[in-house]
Amino acid sequence: MLFNSIQFLVFFVVVTTAYFLLPHRFRWFLLLVASCVFYAAFIPIYLVILFGTIIIDYIAGIQIEHATGARRKYFLVLSLVANIGVLAVFKYYNFLTDNVNFLLHQLHITAHGLAYLSIALPIGLSFHTFQAMSYTIEVYRGNVPAERNFGIYVLYVMFYPQLVAGPIERPQAILHQFYEKKEFDFDRVITGLERMLWGLFKKVVVSDLLAIYVNSIYNHHKANTGFTLLLATYAFAFQIYCDFSGYSDIALGTAQVMGFKLMENFNLPYFSKSITEFWRRWHISLSSWLRDYLYISLGGNRKGMTKTYRNLMLTMLLGGLWHGASWNFVVWGFLNGAYLSIEKMLGIETNLGAHYSLPYKMLRVFVTFNLVCLTWVFFRAASFQQALYIVSHIFNPVGFWNLRIQDTGIFASMTLGVLLLLLLEYAYLRRHRIAEISPSRNWHRPMAFSVILILLIVGFGVSGGDQFIYFQF
């Protein structure tokens, strides 16, 4: 069930209304049923797969808490193997098969290669897997008690606002909220609805419009020149930001309407002055997950600089593979790991104080943004060969400026769209910071902002646009 659909609008209204009408003791069950219905709207049979790992994790959590010594680690490993195993079969088996069969062919080995599996990747399986793993890891570390109520635990990993594309929540941040009684609060509901509108605007007005141009260029990359390919890459940078942060805004707004607080996932990442800062602002729930459960577990920066670089590279390579079973994502992860390692090696500052000039800060933002866009080529390209072609032609000065006449109008439209996005995002974030400092019930400004968003969505939104990019992960 897509957030940008009439089906979801009806679903949201019905579920939210019923939520506030029901007594508190029944609300968790309503949310659980609603979450199952929400996920089943994609591919119903995959609910069975999710529940298989859910049962294992639930039992493992209780056993970890009860067990002592090596048995605690045994149940943790059981949980991790179950989750990673399911993810490996559905997401990586055919990728492994491709590479093994290619290697056998190159070695002229005539033995039959591995057989392919004709299975589709369950929507949001990577997000579900990481959230489930964080539960058993946190129980193992003693940071949260094992959840005894099976229904509440299922709701923790199935909560529909963030089920298929995050944010990836920690158990200590969300489990207790399912027990708390949520009163209807007009201010909170209006703020949540406004955030949902803001996310929908970013998705259907900015992201889906940019997608039309990006798809036309990347799908016919050999018919385009350097500047056109560069323009499409810049457009994709804003497309994926508006797509993913738009989803997160809708998720956080949906939860907020009912009284739940989810983790912020984005913080103006394209204003970062280094790649290190970028990863503190982009997909925050994933980057913090990789930091806490992978990078630090590998040793972090505690065992010398050589191992620090190794840990950064391994973390980002695995982060790349988390996004997809493709060499493109491996290269994407490698580039980000290399950026982070070089910054660490050069001692590049991430927080620039007032003694640095504004032009210098703007230059840092410009360089960081372009380094990120280089990695987006590999993220967006359909194949490694296509990515190499695009990168080589972007940096090829021959024919770089052969811009078609129709592209100038597209360029102007996209520039205006991105400027409108930045203007509205600044206004939205600034007003909410002010609201947090001095709450007010003067709703004429947020109502005016919401009316503007609705008019833009109705007037310029793409109906029947693409599903959210991160659903494939």
SS3 of the chain: the string is CCCCCHHHHHHHHHHHHHHHHCCHHHHHHHHHHHHHHHHHCCCCCHHHHHHHHHHHHHHHHHHHHHCCCHHHHHHHHHHHHHHHHHHHHHHHHHHHHHHHHHHHHHCCCCCCCCCCCCCCCCCCHHHHHHHHHHHHHHHHHCCCCCCCCHHHHHHHHHCHHHCCCCCCCCHHHHHHHHCCCCCCCHHHHHHHHHHHHHHHHHHHHHHHHHHHHHHHHHCCHHHCCHHHHHHHHHHHHHHHHHHHHHHHHHHHHHHHHHCCCCCCCCCCHHHCCCHHHHHHHCCHHHHHHHHHHHHCCCCCCCCCHHHHHHHHHHHHHHHHHHHCCCHHHHHHHHHHHHHHHHHHHHCCCCCCCCCCCHHHHHHHHHHHHHHHHHHHHHHHCCCHHHHHHHHHHHCCCCCCCCCCHHHHHHHHHHHHHHHHHHHHHHHHHHHHHHHHHCCCCCCHHHHHHHHHHHHHHHHHCCCCCCCCHHHHC
Burial class (CB in 10 A: 0-12, 13-18, 19+), 148: exposed
* C-alpha to C-alpha distance for 75 and 44, rounded to whole angstroms: 29
Active-site position among 105, 323, 432, 444: 323
- Tokens 């949260």 belong to 144
How far apart (Å, rounded) are the C-alpha atoms in residues 366 and 274? 10
C-alpha–C-alpha distance, residues 290 and 313, integer Å: 12
The Cα 331–Cα 337 span in angstroms is 10
The token pair that represents 370 in the structure block: 């372009």
Non-local (6+) Cβ contacts of 290 within 8 A are 315, 316, 318, 319
Supply the DSSP symbol for 112. -
Question: Among candidates 267, 284, 192, which has minimal Cα distance to 425?
Answer: 267
323 has catalytic annotation: yes
Residues taking part in catalysis: 323
